[in-house]
Chains A and B, each alone.
Chain A
Amino acid sequence: MVALALQVKGITKRYPGVIANHEVDFDLRKGEIHVLLGENGAGKTTLMNIIYGLSMPDEGECYLDGELIQITDPNLAISRGIGMVHQHFMLVPTLTVVENIILGVESLRPRTAFLRQLSLLDLASATKRIESLSKQYGLEVDPAAYVRDLPVGAQQRVEIVKALYREADILILDEPTAVLTPQEADDLFQVMRALVQPRGDKHGKSIIFITHKLKEVLAVADRITVLRGGRVVGSTMPSATTENELAAMMVGREVVLTVPKGPARPQEPVLEVQDLKVLDDRHLVAVDGVSLEVRKGEILGVAGVQGNGQRELVESLTGLRKPVGGHVRILGQETTLASPRRITELGTAHIPEDRQKHGLVLSDPVKDNLVLNTYYRPPFAHRAVIAREQVADNAARLVREFDIRTPSIETATSNLSGGNQQKTIVAREFSRPIQLLIAAQPTRGLDVGSIEFIHGQLVKRRDDGCAVLLVSAELDEIMALADRIAVMYKGKIVSVMPAEEATREKLGLLMAGVS
């Protein structure tokens, strides 16, 4: 009989309009790595939030060490030995590593009397404990460093130490590899292996590993459970399955892993970047002497782990951020310091990385968002007055053409699904004549249908003679779409190669700075 660390039965969680979890059964054995696999929106995070006490299930039971328990808040989860590393790190950037780690358990007692909270902090002994934990599991952290100064890989180690400091026996890792290079991910897998090893007569830690990346699953899992649309669709072992089988389980049909496209016919350069230098929000160099060109009729993919200067590169090309050095030319015209409007008017379309922050005015209706950067000129405006009929006609036409699912063109875009929000942006950007398309993470967080639609649109634009710059952290997306691939690492383009020459391994090494 295998000892179960955790078991949930019949978990159901409804949100207005969706059932996030539907009668989910799931268990975790002591000392195993159990992968929870599923697409975005499959209900993985919901299930983990329930286990961690961040939300309460509408129905269902939860057992810890065989004991029925209601996990009403994270305090209880923590005190019962559950630790969670969230997809978006839960670290306070302005505090040091040690402060982040001891936060909430400053005196190692779950419920301290209020006056105890006014006693002086004992950072020295906390630091000692952190150092011994970090040695024990090979998790290198600097307790005195400020979290805001740490690279993502190090922040993730802090998160794991934070859970171990609270004496967690069950670790939930929510999409931990999304921000890592393949090599950093391998390091993480080694740490995970070390964690589940038995120590003396004690069981090792038990790990729930959430991901949607198939290759990792086979590399690290002891067992695999697949979620789709809030339901468990199957459980299996790595030895008994293949990538394609898992993919089919995950999306519910055979997936086409490639995008149909013909060979590129590149012509004259549309975008020319020379020795570009850009600073980030903290005034540190983020783009460090980048040179590249994108030609009419080709897709140049920029691969790289998030946070290596891609965002700053895109923002400087589109006029949102002023470069401090170098040159940008679009269609032969100097645009290095040009305003976003001038760059748009030259025929540039921009699908921004953060669609809700930059791409849309969420509180405004769909029809206004569809003219967000053309509202001021004919046919949408005459002599400073908005032509309301034209704006409405334009919206009706684009909603039809791009199949944007919205109750009406007057609906606020905040009420649309992520996929339809992205379609709204794509429709707007493609509704005017364009020569250059800059797309940053165009499919992040979207469902498979929307991803296929947007991929198709990108290829269609290329075939229509547009120059396309695609920036994506998804290696698969880059490999499926790009004609040439540039790899960005620490603000530099470390290599550019034709897509045919690229392999995952080669790109992975370049992304990690190994050349």
Chain B
Amino acid sequence: MQSTSRRGKAPGAVRASILGLTRTLSIPALAVLTALLIGALIMLLSGGNPLVGYVALFEGAFGKARSLSETAVAATPYVFAGLGIALGFRGGLFNIGVEGQLFIGSICAAGVGYAVHGLPWFIHMPLALLAGCLGGAICAGIPGFLKAKTGAHEVITTIMINYMAIYFTNWLVTGPMQDPGTIVPQTRRILATAEIPAIWGAYRVHWGTVLAIAAAALVFWLLWRTVLGFEIRTVGANPDAAKYAGIHVGRNIVITMMLSGALAGAAGAVEVLGLNHYFAPSFSIGYGFDSIAVAVLGKSHPWGVVASAFLFGALNNGANLMQLRTQSPVYIISIVQALILMLVSADQIVRRLYRLKDLPKGNLATPAVATSESALGTGKEAKS
């Protein structure tokens, strides 16, 4: 402290901010490291070779241009879905329904993608994307509305809608929307005009990745530069004060849920429009649930979400090569991801393990998730 003051303000401030940044990053980094170590232990105990495994994982994620492209492809839905969950967190809502919203968004985009003809690409593609967002928004808006009107806790209602959405899309692709040319449950291929094009020659990475990063910038701007963002954050941090401040809390909950759902819907839509070009129920590997960890690891900050989404993308992508080389099932990555969520949220564990100093209270890594009423089924009416 003394040395910085003697050196004068400017370098001290720079140093403090660098120090602050390393401090902010050290916990997540150590959490990821620890989770990987525990994962290694599990592999070792079940007869795998973690060293070979992790080398393969790294190679699979970053080894070649193609692996880099695949990592970006895998990260893209995580960015959108993670942003959706992070936005909900900021508004005090826990949207666990992202998985279902992803399904609905995805099938809406596919429907518009193959059924609407005769549009130029610059209208058709955005239209399909918008349809996906809208589907997700409606899917999330229902639990939002129920919470605002009746106090039904969004955690249970969104999970129920997940299951319903999965059943519903399953019916669509085995019934009215099934590709007539096949017996496989999937939709027809979308038209070329609805496709989000690839960025880079023969690689699969597409402009959807760029869209995802743009979405992060948009969410940042929304949350910290606009009136609506001020309201979302105020409702999230203290709903009582928000009411006092004249904010319509119930309406705000619905809006936040719909925005969150729209981002989740975009995650599903971009998978269809940029990558698969049709909808099949098997497209999601549980993005919606993993994204909770993405949002928490990213501390519900848009740029943090982008970073952790790429980490998760890399893990998932690299795991394929790992399974190929070591027979360690890709599921090990799900375990590692759960551990990351645990260690980032309970940062005290990490601090204790690595003998770091405790931060003062209030600087918790876990975002404010409706802390005032996190009991399930709380009957508090959010009407105002």
A contact residues vs B (CB 8 Å cutoff)? 318, 320, 339-341, 344, 350, 352, 357-364, 368, 372-373, 375-376, 381, 384-386, 388, 412, 414
Q: Are B238 and A361 within 8 A (Cβ)?
A: yes
In the bound complex, do residue A372 and residue B234 qualify as a contact, i.e. CB atoms below 8 Å apart? yes
Q: A363-B362, A414-B362 are in contact. Are A385 and B226 (CB under 8 A)?
A: yes
Q: Which residues of A contact B227 (CB under 8 A)?
A: 375-376, 381, 384-386
* 25 residue pairs bridging A and B, Cβ less than 8 Å apart: A339-B246, A339-B248, A340-B244, A340-B245, A340-B246, A341-B246, A341-B247, A358-B240, A358-B243, A360-B238, A363-B237, A364-B233, A364-B237, A372-B234, A372-B244, A372-B245, A375-B245, A381-B227, A384-B227, A384-B228, A385-B227, A386-B227, A386-B229, A388-B225, A412-B362
**B365 interface residue (CB < 8 Å to A):** no
In the complex the two chains form, is A320's CB within 8 Å of B243's CB?
Answer: yes
Partner among A340, A362, A368, A376 whose Cβ is within 8 Å of the Cβ of B243 = A340
Which B residues are CB-close (under 8 A) to A372?
234, 241, 244-245
Question: In the assembly, what is the distance between CA of A265 and CA of B227, in Å?
Answer: 41
* New A-B contacts (15) at CB < 8 Å, excluding given A364-B233, A372-B234: A320-B244, A339-B384, A340-B245, A341-B246, A352-B244, A357-B240, A358-B240, A361-B242, A362-B237, A368-B230, A375-B230, A376-B227, A376-B230, A376-B231, A385-B226
Q: Is the CB of B226 within 8 A of A373?
A: no
A386-B225 Cα distance, complex, nearest whole Å: 5
Q: Does B368 contact A (CB under 8 A)?
A: yes
Which residue of chain B lies nearest to A358 when distances are taken between CB atoms in the complex?
Answer: B244
CB distance from B224 to the nearest CB of A (A): 8
Chain A residues positioned under 8 Å from B240 (CB to CB) = 357-358
Contacts of A384 in B (CB 8 A): 226-228
Q: How far is the CB of A420 from chain B (nearest CB, A)?
A: 17
B224-273 residues at the A interface, CB under 8 angstroms: 225-231, 233-234, 237-238, 240-248
**Minimum Cβ distance to chain B for residue A134 (Å):** 35
B244's partner among A350, A364, A368 (CB-CB below 8 A) is A350
Give every chain A residue within 8 A of B228 (Cβ-Cβ): 384
Size category, B interface? 20 to 34
Residues of B within 8 A of A (CB): 225-231, 233-234, 237-238, 240-248, 362, 368, 384
CA distance A222 to B247 in the complex (A): 54
Q: How far is the CB of A65 from chain B (nearest CB, A)?
A: 39
A357 surroundings in chain B (CB, below 8 A) = 238, 240-241
Residues of B within 8 A of A341 (CB): 246-247
Chain A residues within 8 Å of B226, by CB:
384-386
A381 to B226, CA, bound (A): 8
CB neighbours (8 Å) of A339 from chain B are 246, 248, 384
CA distance A373 to B246 in the complex (A): 6
Cβ-closest chain B residue relative to A371:
B230
Greatest chain A CB density within 10 A among B227, B229, B233, B246 is at: B246
A357 and B240 CA atoms in complex are apart in Å by 6
**Chain A positions within 8 Å of B368 at CB level:** 363
**Candidate in A340, A361, A363, A388 with the most chain B CB atoms within 10 angstroms:** A361
Closest to B246 in A: A341
A384 to B243, CA, bound (A): 19
Question: Closest CB of chain B to A281's CB: distance in Å?
Answer: 9
Least CB separation from A355: chain B residue: B241
B241 to A360, Cβ gap below 8 A?
yes
| Chain B residues whose CB sits within 8 angstroms of the CB of A352 once the complex forms | 244
Rounded to whole Å, the gap between the CB of B299 and the closest CB of chain A is 13
Residues on the A chain within 8 Å of B237, using CB: 361-364
Picked from B225, B244, B248, B362, the residue with its CB within 8 Å of the CB of A373 is B244
A312 to B247, CA, bound (A): 20
Whether B234 lies near A364 (C-beta < 8 A) is yes
Interchain CB contact (< 8 A) of A362 among B238, B242, B244, B245: B238
Nearest neighbor of A428 in chain B, beta-carbon distance = B245
CA–CA, A368 and B241, complex, Å: 12
Q: For the complex, give the distance between the alpha carbons of A363 and B92 in Å.
A: 13
How far is B138's CA from A142's CA once the two chains are assembled, in angstroms?
A: 53
Cβ of B142 to closest chain A Cβ, rounded Å: 25
CA distance A352 to B244 in the complex (A): 9
CA distance A368 to B362 in the complex (A): 18
How far apart are the CA atoms of A364 and B238 in the complex, in Å? 10
A357 to B368, CA, bound (A): 15
B259 to chain A, nearest CB (A): 14
Residues of B within 8 A of A344 (CB): 246
Residues of chain B within 8 A of A386, CB atoms compared: 225-227, 229-230
Chain B residues with CB under 8 Å of A414's CB are: 362
Distance in angstroms from B218 CB to nearest chain A CB is 13
Report which residue of A375, A381, A414 has the largest number of chain B beta carbons within 10 angstroms of its beta carbon. Answer: A375
Q: How far is the CB of B325 from chain A (nearest CB, A)?
A: 47
Q: Separation in Å of the A144 CB from the closest CB of chain B?
A: 26
B residues in contact with A318, CB < 8 Å: 244
A513 to B384 CA separation, bound complex (whole angstroms)? 34
Q: Which residues of B contact A320 (CB under 8 A)?
A: 243-244
CB-CB nearest 5 A-B residue pairs: A341-B246, A358-B244, A373-B245, A361-B238, A372-B245
Report the Cα distance A361→B244, complex, angstroms: 11
**In the complex, A94→B17 CA distance in Å?**
50
A344 to B368, CA, bound (A): 28
Please state if A385 and B225 are interface contacts (CB–CB under 8 Å). yes
List of A residues within 8 angstroms of B244 by Cβ: 318, 320, 340, 350, 352, 358-359, 372-373
Interface centre among B227, B231, B241 (most CB of A within 10 A): B241
B238 neighbours in A (Cβ, 8 Å): 357, 360-363
* Least Cβ–Cβ distance between A271 and chain B, in angstroms: 18
Closest A residue to B380 by beta carbon equals A281
Please, how many angstroms separate the alpha-carbon atoms of A384 and B228 in the complex? Answer: 7
How many Å from the CB of A324 to the closest CB on chain B?
Answer: 15
How many angstroms from the CA of A368 to the CA of B384 in the assembled complex? 22
CA distance in complex: A339, B234 (Å): 17
Cα A373 to Cα B230 in complex, Å, equals 11
Chain B residues whose C-beta falls within 8 Å of the C-beta of A381 in the assembled complex:
227
Alpha-carbon gap, A372 to B228, bound state (A): 13
Inter-chain contacts of B241 with A (CB < 8 A):
357-361, 372
- B362: chain A residues within 8 A (beta carbon): 363, 412, 414
CA separation between A362 and B368, bound complex, in Å?
12
* Complex Cα–Cα for A318 and B240 (A): 13
CA distance A373 to B244 in the complex (A): 8
Nearest Cβ on chain B to A21's Cβ, whole angstroms: 22
CB nearest neighbor in A for B248: A339
Return the chain B residue nearest A384 by Cβ.
B227
How many angstroms between the C-alpha atoms of A50 and B71 in the bound complex? 58
Most central of B242, B243, B245, B368 by chain A CB within 10 Å: B245
- Chain A residue numbers with a CB within 8 Å of B384 are 339-340
Measured between beta carbons, the chain A residues less than 8 angstroms from B248 are 339
C-alpha spacing A385/B225, complex, angstroms: 6
Q: Please give, as numbers and ranges, the residues of chain B lying within 8 Å of A360 by CB-CB distance.
A: 238, 241
Interface hub of B226, B227, B228 (most chain A Cβ within 10 A):
B227
Once the chains are docked, how many angstroms separate the CA of A350 from the CA of B243?
A: 13
In this complex, what residue of B is CB-closest to A364?
B237
Find chain A residues with CB under 8 A from B242 CB. 361
| Chain A: CB-nearest residue to B360 | A16
Q: How far is the CB of B150 from chain A (nearest CB, A)?
A: 16
| Least Cβ–Cβ distance between B252 and chain A, in angstroms | 12
What A residues does B229 contact at CB under 8 A?
386
**A386-B227 Cα distance, complex, nearest whole Å:** 6
* CB of B361 to closest CB in A, whole Å: 9
Q: Kindly list chain A residues whose C-beta atoms are within 8 Å of the C-beta of B243.
A: 320, 340, 358
Q: Give the Cβ gap from B204 to chain A, nearest Cβ, in Å.
A: 37
Nearest Cβ distance between residue A240 and chain B, in whole angstroms? 45
Residue of A with least CB distance to B235: A361
Min C-beta distance of B317 to chain A, whole Å:
36
Q: How far is the CB of A290 from chain B (nearest CB, A)?
A: 21
Name the A residues within 8 Å of B231 (CB-CB): 376
State in angstroms the CA–CA spacing of A385 and B228 once bound together. 8
A residues in contact with B233, CB < 8 Å: 364
